[in-house]
Amino acid sequence: MKLPTRVNHPPAVAVPEDNRPLVAPIYQSVKFTFGDVAEAQRQSRGERDGFAYSRVSNPTLRQLELTLAQLQGRDACLLMASGIAAVSVPLLSLCRQGDHVLLFAEMYQPSRYLVRRLLARYGITHTMLSIEDDAGIEHALASTPTRLVLFESPSNPVLKIADVARIAAAARAHGALTLLDNTFASFHNHGQFDIDIFAHSLTKYASGHGDVMGGAVIASQALIDSMRTDHIMIGATLDPHAAFLIQRGLKTYPLRYQRQCENALRVAEFLESQSSVARVAYPGLQSHPQHSLAKAQMHDFGTIVTIELHDQTRARKFSDALRLFAISASVGSTESLVQPGELMRARDLNEQERGWAALDDATVRLSIGIEDAADLIADLDQALRA
């Protein structure tokens, strides 16, 4: 073979079955091949195992899908290119013109956009309530045939706790599917409840290092199969290298999350003792109005501490004065982050809805990392004094 041919047809290297690599390789290939056309046809018809095109399936992605499904206690998983794709794909795939969706003001703004703006263009209606409105939830489900209930717990960013069992039971009784954005609670929480679909941003705790984006939809095999073709056609597929990095990040996920929760509780207790802080929201504090509910339905209380200072000016000065907390969006990284409320303004909400969301310019969200807790508290102390 001449040079141009040789470099495009390198020698194959086979690894013996009893000589496997300890870390699975990255299958950074868009295309997979077969020995003949007949076998390729068998694979396309589902008559044999194998891979053909990475937008459809890929071995590196498959390993991560299996891992995440097991962590959440469900049958199957679809990987996405981002966390918001993990919300949008189920909404677009499972909802039809004329359907109704129930959602809540205390949730991620892009999720609200998907329902209130994108789905509305295609004739899908919605009702938006407060996650604390138990009677309203029951009334909405009883009075309006509902296809899907979309919620999150703890809520972003003010950490309200949804009564997961109650919402799931009400939805089931009225024939609605439940879609829980479980990102803040993460994979080891809420799996015991009768939730149909879990959505996760893998950008947060699964990766944990702030260097890769991804999302996951976790559900029963039947529900995942019903969304699979739409997912493939929408094209929201995760890249194999990103999947490899997330799989690697998961090895330290339990250690990171435990340390972050321990740090978060110590930070919350310190902040609650400070007169310059008007309010501290952390489900692990006895003062949290839903502390008992969080304790009953979660294994831990999360890594986010949200505080209310006395005005926007103080919130901005406090955020600017922090040295170890980087001003940044997102959560779940090994380093601590701060996001002032003025960068999270709920511009899509009316006055009543903003009251439900309980988010204003004096709010500050802290994502607690794995640093030494004493160092974090010292930094918070100097920033409050500043």
Local confidence band at 138 (pLDDT 50, 70, 90 cut-offs): very high
Confidence of residue 357 (pLDDT cuts 50, 70, 90): confident
List the Cα angle 153/80/123 in 5-degree steps. Answer: 75
Nearest to 137 by CA among 106, 110, 98, 97: 106
What pLDDT digit, counting tens, does each position of 146-169 carry?
999 999 999 999 999 999 999 999
pLDDT, residue 348, reads 87
Give, for 177, the enclosing helix (H) or strand (E): strand 177-181
**pLDDT of residue 346 exceeding 90:** no
pLDDT, tens digit, 9 for 90 and up, residues 66-108: 999 999 999 999 999 999 999 999 999 999 999 999 999 999 9
Lowest mean pLDDT among 21-35, 79-93, 315-329, 341-355: 341-355
Indicate whether 350 pLDDT > 90: no
Instruction: State mean pLDDT over 206-230.
Output: 97
pLDDT at 358: 86
CA angle 249, 253, 258 (to 5 degrees): 150
Kindly tell me if the per-residue pLDDT of 52 is higher than 90.
yes
Would you call the peptide bond into 154 cis, given omega within 30 degrees of 0 as the criterion? yes
State the Cα torsion 365-371-375-380 to the nearest 10°.
0
User: Measuring CA to CA, which residue among 172, 36, 184, 28 is closest to residue 106?
Assistant: 184
| CATH dotted code for 253-385 | 3.90.1150.10
pLDDT at residue 299, rounded to an integer: 97
Mean per-residue pLDDT for 335-345?
Answer: 93
CA 23 – CA 250 distance, rounded (Å) = 13
Beta bridge partners of 306: 281, 365
Residue ranges of domains in the chain: 58-250, 253-385
Nearest to 157 by CA among 360, 384, 377, 296: 360
Strand pairing partners for 308?
279, 363
Tokens of 292: 């008992």
pLDDT tier at 355, thresholds 50, 70, 90: confident
Mean pLDDT of 274-302: 98
Count of alpha carbons within 13 angstroms of residue 44, beta-carbon side = 10
Q: Distance between CA 107 and CA 380 in Å, rounded?
A: 26
Q: What is the pLDDT of residue 193?
A: 98
Task: Say how far apart CA 213 and CA 232 lie, in whole Å.
Answer: 18
Q: Angle at CA 45, nearest 5°, toward 41 and 46?
A: 120
Determine the pLDDT at residue 7: 81
- Computed over every residue of the chain, the mean pLDDT equals 96
Q: What does the block give as tokens for 188? A: 């080891």
Supply the pLDDT for residue 216: 98
Residue type, 27: Y
Residue 321 has pLDDT above 90, yes or no: yes
Of 136, 250, 231, 128, nearest in space to 188 by CA: 250
Angle at 114 between CA 202 and CA 179, to 5 degrees: 55
Burial 14-26 (b: 16+ CB within 10 A, else e): eeeeeeeeeeeeb
The region of weakest confidence among 46-55, 284-293, 347-356 is 347-356
Span 58-250 CATH architecture: 3-Layer(aba) Sandwich (3.40)
